[in-house]
Amino acid sequence: MKTIERSLFKGRDFISLHDFSQAELSCILDVAKELKADQKARRPHTVLQGKTLGMIFTKSSTRTRVSFEVGMYQLGGHALFLSGRDIQLGRGETIADTARVLSRMVDGIMIRTFSHQEVLDLAEFATIPIINGLTDLLHPCQVLADLMTIQEHKGRLAGLKLAYVGDGNNMAHSLMFGCAKMGLHVSIASPQGYKPDPLIVAMAQEDAKNNGGLVEVVDDPLEAIKGADVLYTDVWASMGQEEEAKVRKAAFEGYQINSNSLKLANQSAIVLHCLPAHRGEEITDDVIEGAQSVVFDEAENRLHAQKAIMALVM
């Protein structure tokens, strides 16, 4: 990696895609592409040799844990898994104290948690880079991998239309930010009562205006899907919302990516899903296993995108 690229990001937090310019996100994606090519060619990178990433998990995960842990190993560093049972946060120690202590022992912190405020507090008191592995508000690492996947399969980002069908959740929020910054037209279709945060929508629309994109929120999933180059969905009930599953299932009836959806999209449209998927609910089995699905390329790209983030900020 070029030294100039690393100098632009060294020591910065990675909390929201809104915090980065189009040029900066393009740079991260370029580094991710380079790291992926080198990994496939078995050309090692040891830019983080001797460094340690502390990984705080209050929400369990498959892709987040494996991608960050393997990524640190491939970059020559070490990852330390810290669950709520392993550290004093689970027994009432403050975020501020945890941030100060870990800042003296590790070189970066990735946190996957419920409250977005916890990430902001960690960043305020830490003196090392903080990476947002997921909160109930945002999921920037996933969307960086999504943008990488779209770029790989479409050859570009600007000017494409992405239709997101489902809950106006952390995925919808980060997709709006990421697509707006990179000049995409993103159309979010969510039922009443499950719309994305109006403040996030307004911020993303301002980003879109400045970067040649478009952000819209609609009620009708078919309206969003029409003419789309990328179809995207997520589970109707996320982690921590299990008790709402029955109510949500009724509210999201019709908000599904299926074979009929594909007919309304562009013929060459690709299908994305952040996983895990509830097949038969937000997406049908034939679509996720179909020729237009790139969800497992997308899942793999979590590794490469996050390696780029870590290599740059740490």
> Distance (Å, rounded) from C-alpha 83 to C-alpha 182?
34
**Tens digits of per-residue pLDDT, 188-219?**
999 999 999 999 999 999 999 999 999 999 99
Is 139 an annotated catalytic residue? yes
Dihedral sign for Cα atoms in the order 275, 140, 28, 272: positive
User: How high does pLDDT run on average in the chain?
Assistant: 95
> Distance (Å, rounded) from C-alpha 193 to C-alpha 12?
35
Q: What percent of the chain has pLDDT over 70?
A: 97
Given the residues 13, 302, 304, 306, select the one marked as catalytic: 302
Inter-axis angle of helices 295-313 and 22-40, to 10 degrees? Answer: 110
Is 292 an annotated catalytic residue? no
Give the residue with greater pLDDT, 91 vs 224: 224
In this prediction, residues 133-159 reach a mean pLDDT of: 98
Residue 274 annotated as lining a ligand binding site:
yes
Closest CA to 144 of 276, 3, 19: 19
φ, ψ of residue 291 to 5 degrees: the values are: -65, -25
Q: At a CB cut-off of 8 Å and minimum separation 6, what does 136 contact?
A: 114, 115, 116, 169, 170, 238, 240
Residue 266 annotated as lining a ligand binding site:
no
Residue 179 annotated as lining a ligand binding site:
no
Residue 60 annotated as lining a ligand binding site:
no
Given the residues 22, 167, 229, 274, select the one marked as catalytic: 274
Given the residues 107, 234, 273, 306, select the one marked as catalytic: 234
Closest CA to 165 of 298, 19, 284: 284
**Is the backbone of residue 300 left (phi > 0), alpha (psi -120 to 50) or beta?**
alpha
pLDDT of residue 51: 98
Closest CA to 117 of 95, 91, 86, 90: 95
Given the residues 18, 139, 173, 273, select the one marked as catalytic: 139
**Tens digits of per-residue pLDDT, 222-249?**
999 999 999 999 999 876 677 787 899 9
> Distance (Å, rounded) from C-alpha 99 to C-alpha 101?
6
pLDDT of residue 212: 97
Residue 301 annotated as lining a ligand binding site:
no
Is 100 an annotated catalytic residue? no
Given the residues 142, 151, 256, 306, select the one marked as catalytic: 142
Domains delineated in the chain: 6-138+302-313 (3.40.50.1370), 142-299 (3.40.50.1370)
pLDDT of residue 4: 57
Residue 239 annotated as lining a ligand binding site:
yes
Residue 100 annotated as lining a ligand binding site:
no
Nearest-5° Cα angle at 63, 228 to 5: 75
Residue 64 annotated as lining a ligand binding site:
yes
In this prediction, residues 148-161 reach a mean pLDDT of: 98
Is 0.85 surpassed by the pTM of this model? yes
Inter-axis angle of helices 63-74 and 295-313, to 10 degrees? Answer: 50
Is 302 an annotated catalytic residue? yes
Residue 275 annotated as lining a ligand binding site:
yes
Dihedral sign for Cα atoms in the order 39, 44, 48, 51: positive
Closest CA to 21 of 140, 156, 135, 178: 178
DSSP 8-state class, residue 45: -
